[in-house]
Amino acid sequence: MIGLPDVRQAAARLHGQVLNTPCVESRMLSQVAGCQVYLKFENLQFTASFKERGACNKLAQLSQDEQQRGVIAMSAGNHAQGVAYHAQRLGIHAVIVMPRFTPMVKVERTRGFGAEVVLHGDTLEEARAHALELAQDRQLVFVHPYDDEAIIAGQGTVALEMLEAVPQLDTLVVAIGGGGLIGGMAAAAKALKPGIRVVGVQTLRFPNMYNAVKHATLPQGVSTIAEGIAVGRPGQFTQALVERYVDDIVLVDEGDVEQAIVMLLDIEKTLVEGAGAAPLAALMKEPQRHAGRKVGLVLGGGNIDPMLLAAIIQRGMVRAGRLARLRVCARDVPGSLARITGVVSEAGANIDEVHHQRAFTMLAAQSVEIELVVQTRGHAHVQSLLEALRAAGFEAEEQ
């Protein structure tokens, strides 16, 4: 089983090859959560993910014969980029098998590192099976994304850096996909500081490690915003490490993760993907569990599709009341819309969209239904805007 010596050796191999990312306190998040929150910015790695730690550690230990044959990996994106980048740096040919619906930003970046990308299957399991076939056919070295001792040890170096930067940490909150990151981190952290708590996070749609460790039978979904931890089954090495060293596993839903992405963007001005935001989602879902503690969160990656990010930001604005959709009924006469926009302006809101509805409505033929999408300062501002519209003689409600 992986232990502290393996992680220390990995750290020596990685020295100068990957970034020792900042681990600093977020004062604003600490105020909101009721504990001291420290963020480990793994989204600042060159490939924007912790995954290159394990990949680099694995590739650095290949024999000359293995290097000449080349390597193959299956990944939803971050492991792919880590393997591709360090293989290119070491002069090793890399083949990456990715599910067909992997975000294009990850596909193109992987190709940009010189890897041969093969898109196959709809799930990681289908991609994995195809990668194993190609590995056998082409005599390539298979680089597993998590269930490999060298990969686990490389990921565990995150814990060494966090405890070196902030020795007083008493809790680590880490996302779990296959378990490579939390397995390596937990083994190292518990050896350095036996009393430290290690909490894993999975999504409700992919609770594979939760089911395995807690002997539960929660159903598994098809997709999640945190695709980086959408793994069908845990690894054998990683499950053993989780069972031995991890104190608890919590589940978060899609809305929790979306909110965490927006919070990190808004408060910390840092971009994370769904899997990278999962630890903060868990903290904000149950802050009382960590009250008064010194909690380290790993922001595992920052590779997110721009279109998905745009949708998440808009949905976050809706949840916060900063973007609202109003239905206003008025007489269908010249000047009505001008009066409505005047009221909105006086109330300090800004109109994003205006839609008139005359045919698909139950209003009298002389009336019009106007849908407004407005930018506001929050839920209280929305209510004051509705009151202003009603005081001006209009029927108005939030949709």
* CATH assignment of the domain containing 376: 3.30.70.260
Q: For residue 359, what pLDDT is reported?
A: 67
293-315 pLDDT tens trace = 999 999 999 988 888 999 999 99
Q: What percent of the chain has pLDDT over 90?
A: 81
CB 69 within 8 A of CB 63: no
| 166 and 36 inside one domain | yes
Q: For residue 333, what pLDDT is reported?
A: 85
Q: What is the mean pLDDT of residues 106-119?
A: 90
| 43 and 72 inside one domain | no
| 193 and 120 inside one domain | no
Last residue of a domain, one of 142, 176, 201: 142
C-alpha pair distances (Å), 288 with each of 35, 260, 283, 291? 9, 17, 9, 5
Q: Which has more pLDDT, 282 or 103?
A: 282
Residues contacting residue 309 through CB under 8 Å, at least 6 positions apart? 261, 271
| 393 and 291 inside one domain | no
Question: Per the structure block, which two tokens stand in for 286?
Answer: 């149950």
In sequence order, what are the beta bridge partners of 174? 200
CB 330 within 8 A of CB 343: no
| 300 and 195 inside one domain | yes
Distance of alpha carbon 86 from its chain centroid, rounded? 23
Q: Where are the alpha helices (DSSP H) in the chain?
A: 4-14, 27-33, 51-59, 64-69, 78-90, 104-112, 124-138, 149-165, 180-192, 208-214, 236-245, 254-263, 274-285, 306-319, 336-346, 379-391
| 248 and 357 inside one domain | no
Neighbouring C-alpha atoms within 13 Å toward the C-beta of 93: 10
CB 84 within 8 A of CB 113: yes
| 182 and 219 inside one domain | yes
* CATH assignment of the domain containing 288: 3.40.50.1100
Q: Average pLDDT of the chain?
A: 93
Verdict on whether the full-model pTM lies above 0.75? yes
Strand ordering across the sheet containing 171-175 = 23-25, 36-41, 294-299, 171-175, 197-203, 248-252
| 39 and 67 inside one domain | no
Question: Per the structure block, which two tokens stand in for 326?
Answer: 């109003």
Distance CA 49, CA 227 (A): 13
| 288 and 198 inside one domain | yes
Q: Where are the alpha helices (DSSP H) in 216-270?
A: 236-245, 254-263
Last residue of a domain, one of 274, 291, 316: 316
Question: Where does the pLDDT of residue 250 fall: very low under 50, low under 70, confident under 90, or very high at 90 and above?
Answer: very high
Distance CA 151, CA 56 (A): 8
Q: Which has more pLDDT, 51 or 330?
A: 51
- The yes-or-no verdict on residue 382 having pLDDT over 80 is yes
Question: Per the structure block, which two tokens stand in for 314?
Answer: 């808009």
Range of 108's domain?
Answer: 51-142
Q: How many structural domains does the chain have?
A: 3
Q: For residue 59, what pLDDT is reported?
A: 97
154-185 pLDDT tens trace = 999 999 999 999 999 999 999 999 999 999 99
Q: For residue 322, what pLDDT is reported?
A: 93
Q: What is the mean pLDDT of residues 89-104?
A: 89
| 310 and 371 inside one domain | no
Last residue of a domain, one of 142, 175, 198: 142
Q: For residue 362, what pLDDT is reported?
A: 66
Distance CA 3, CA 10 (A): 11
Q: For residue 360, what pLDDT is reported?
A: 67
| 153 and 36 inside one domain | yes
177-208 pLDDT tens trace = 999 999 999 999 999 999 999 999 999 999 99
Strand ordering across the sheet containing 395-398 = 350-357, 367-375, 323-331, 395-398
Of 286, 285, 264, 284, the C-alpha closest to 274 is 264
Q: Where are the alpha helices (DSSP H) in 50-122?
A: 51-59, 64-69, 78-90, 104-112
| 124 and 248 inside one domain | no
Q: For residue 31, what pLDDT is reported?
A: 96
Q: What percent of the chain has pLDDT over 70?
A: 98
- The yes-or-no verdict on residue 273 having pLDDT over 80 is yes
Strand ordering across the sheet containing 71-74 = 116-119, 94-98, 71-74, 141-142
N residues, the chain: 399
